[in-house]
Structure 1
Amino acid sequence: MSWKWEYALGAEEAARSLPSGFLATVAHAADELVRAAEAVHVHGRDHEGLDPKGGHIIVTGGWFMYQIVVRSERVYIVQITYPGF
């Protein structure tokens, strides 16, 4: 398995109604999070203990909240906020 990012259920549904340009910005930031998580947690599947605290990232047009699940080698986007509507 290799590191990837994906939307959590609620965020995936919210993303369907957002502008593609904003979603591209979110995807770019999520890709950077994946690269950073992969560098820090080289042996992710062997991780023991708690996952790191999630956070939020401000991007052009809004922001999103994420959670890293090390043993799954995933960065989950759990909430997207786009105040442009």
Structure 2
Amino acid sequence: MESTADELVRAAEAVHVHGRAHKGFDPKGGDVIVPGGMFTYQVVVRSERVHVVQITCLGF
């Protein structure tokens, strides 16, 4: 999960180069399926952050 989250952060940095100067709405978050579960994220451009809001572990 950590490497997938790192990729997500790099992608957000590439798309939203001028994060603090961003005017408008934040992009829609999403779900990412990883081995053993999934996580839900939200990009907050003005704060230059990607928040993981839920982690689901299937545990099998």
- Shorter chain as denominator, the TM-score bin is over 0.9
After the TM superposition, list the runs of 4 or more consecutive aligned residues in structure 1 that deviate by more than 4 angstroms: none
Q: CA deviation at 1:55?
A: 0.1
24, 45, 48: which one aligns with 1:70: 45
Q: How high is the TM-score relative to the length of structure 1?
A: 0.68
Structure of greater relative contact order (alpha carbons < 8 Å, 6+ residues apart):
1
Unaligned runs of 5+ in 2: none
How much is the aligned-residue C-alpha RMSD, in angstroms? 0.9
Q: How high is the TM-score relative to the length of structure 2?
A: 0.96
Unaligned runs of 5+ in 1: 1-25
| Higher helix residue share | 1
Partner amino acid, structure 2, of 1:65:
T
Q: CA deviation at 1:27?
A: 1.2
Partner amino acid, structure 2, of 1:45:
R
Identity of aligned residues (%): 72
Output the CA distance in 1 between the equivalents of 2:49 and 2:2. Answer: 14
Q: Which residue of 2 aligns with 1:9?
A: none
Output the CA distance in 2 between the equivalents of 1:30 and 1:83. Answer: 18
